[in-house]
């Protein structure tokens, strides 16, 4: 369980969650990045950049 | 083997790779490029002892420079900086395909609105205007009329990054509502799928439906030629059907394969890791 940095709600992470993965806060809808795994810490996800992709 | 994975965002593709690598007992080091400093002489500590580094940077700019640095440090990296440089830029990509004799859509590059307009009028309507750098179908324009062309060229010239002032104009290929994505390792197809949509853009990222596709001999040959043309590696080769043949519109160097993995019976990450092991020459050095 981690805390949403935007609304403070609890966010449940999957067992196979990875640092660098993006998760959604189901309470406020914010996109969050997992920055620490144990204990879990979340931050706001980076915005889409023009050169992202394959 | 010790595998470095360059990333700034872990997608399902990276999770599949990480899982396969770890299941086989390889030592995996995730390297967030946002945390790194790349000096001119010595490799960052995280990269120095890797048997192979896999570039999975989401941002093209980071991918280009990080792979260049890896090679400068003598750290084996896939894909190579040369492949990344060719694939990342649609102009270089098209030139490489054309020079290798791979059928690819007719393309003009122009640097002013006026000269781009001449190309568009020569191609006729519809034709396609693409950014030279970009993915997932973003900023792609199917131009149906002169007035639309004028408006889009004006917007690009006025608002865009300087790269948007490089006008990449391409013939519109009247594909049968689908295109073909092939993931290949040094030209050997791992698996293929068709991406179908009512929209003219059939990217999986745009929500196209996917289905396994059986490559014929001609398509397999083209995949090999296209791979060689851009320097080889782990690639996503995109083809369109043109009646009884194909045209290759681009080759992707940080290929996403999660949609393909869901569409086919082949275990795509397993095949990719097989190839990585061979690439690193480290099959016998698996850490258990």
pLDDT in tens, B3-39: 999 999 999 999 999 999 999 999 999 999 999 999 9
- In the beta sheet, which residues pair with residue B184? B189, B235
Quick: pLDDT tens for B213-222: 999 999 999 9
B59–A49: do the CB atoms touch at under 8 Å?
A: yes
- In terms of Cα–Cα distance, which of B250, B198, B240 is closest to B219? B240
The answer to whether residue B252 neighbours chain A at the CB level (below 8 Å) is yes
Instruction: Name the token pair of B47.
Output: 């990269």
Q: Alpha helix (H) ranges present in chain B? A: 12-23, 45-48, 60-73, 81-88, 90-99, 113-123, 146-159, 217-230, 258-263, 268-280
* pLDDT band at B159; cut points 50, 70, 90: confident
Nearest residue on chain A to B134, judged by CA atoms? A51
- Phi/psi at B229 (nearest 5 deg)? -65, -30
C-alpha angle B7-A16-B60 in degrees, rounded to nearest 5: 15
pLDDT (mean) for A32-53: 94
- The confidence score (pLDDT) of residue B288 equals 46
Which residue in B10, B161, B253 is closest to A20 by CB distance?
B10
* pLDDT, mean over chain B: 95
Quick: pLDDT tens for B113-149: 999 999 999 999 999 999 999 999 999 999 999 999 9
B151 CB-side CA count, 13 A: 8
Which residues numbered 182-211 in B keep a CB inside 8 Å of some CB on A? 205
Which residue in B30, B136, B252 is closest to A20 by CB distance?
B30
Q: What share of chain B is helix, strand, coil (3-state, %, to 5)?
A: 40, 25, 35
Which residue in B30, B136, B254 is closest to A19 by CB distance?
B30
- The confidence score (pLDDT) of residue B284 equals 45
B58–A21: do the CB atoms touch at under 8 Å?
A: no
Regarding pTM above 0.90, the answer is: yes
Nearest residue on chain B to A48, judged by CA atoms? B59
The answer to whether residue B79 neighbours chain A at the CB level (below 8 Å) is no
Nearest residue on chain A to B133, judged by CA atoms? A51
- The confidence score (pLDDT) of residue B286 equals 47
Instruction: Name the token pair of B26.
Output: 């390889």
Quick: pLDDT tens for B97-106: 999 999 999 9
Among B4, B6, B13, B15, the residue to mutate for chain A (most A Cβ within 10 A): B15
**Distance in angstroms (rounded) separating the CA atoms of residues B120 and B153:** 10
pLDDT (mean) for B144-164: 93
Q: Which residues contact B288 (CB under 8 A, 6 or more apart)?
A: B25
């Amino acid at each position: 369980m981690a805390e949403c940095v935007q609304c403070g709600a609890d966010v449940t992470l999957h067992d196979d969650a990875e640092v660098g993965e993006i998760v959604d806060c189901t309470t406020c809808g914010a996109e969050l990045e997992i920055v620490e795994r144990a204990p879990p810490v979340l931050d706001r996800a980076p915005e889409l950049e023009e050169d992202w992709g394959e | 083997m010790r595998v470095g994975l360059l990333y700034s965002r872990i997608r399902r593709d990276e999770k599949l790779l990480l899982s396969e690598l770890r299941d086989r007992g390889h030592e995996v080091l995730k390297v967030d490029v946002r945390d790194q400093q790349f000096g001119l002489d010595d490799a960052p500590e995280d990269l120095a002892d890797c048997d192979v580094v896999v570039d999975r940077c989401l941002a093209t700019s980071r991918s280009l420079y990080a792979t260049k640095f890896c090679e400068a440090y003598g750290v084996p990296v896939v894909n190579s900086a040369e492949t990344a440089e060719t694939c990342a830029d649609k102009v270089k990509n098209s030139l490489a395909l054309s020079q290798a004799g791979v059928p690819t859509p007719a393309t003009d590059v122009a640097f002013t609105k006026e000269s781009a307009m001449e190309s568009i009028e020569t191609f006729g309507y519809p034709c396609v205007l693409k950014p030279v750098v970009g993915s997932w179908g973003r900023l792609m324009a199917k131009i149906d009329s002169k007035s639309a062309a004028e408006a889009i060229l004006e917007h690009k010239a006025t608002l865009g990054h300087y790269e948007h002032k490089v006008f990449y104009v391409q013939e519109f290929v009247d594909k049968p509502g689908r295109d073909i994505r092939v993931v290949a390792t040094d030209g050997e197809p791992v698996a293929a799928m068709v991406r179908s949509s009512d929209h003219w853009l059939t990217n999986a990222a745009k929500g196209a439906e996917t289905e396994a596709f059986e490559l014929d001999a001609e398509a397999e040959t083209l995949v090999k030629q296209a791979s060689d043309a851009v320097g080889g590696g782990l690639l996503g080769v995109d083809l369109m059907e043109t009646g009884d043949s194909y045209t290759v519109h681009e080759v992707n160097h940080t290929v996403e394969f999660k949609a393909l993995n869901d569409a086919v019976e082949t275990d795509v990450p397993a095949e990719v890791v097989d190839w990585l092991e061979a690439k690193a020459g480290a099959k016998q050095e698996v850490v258990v």
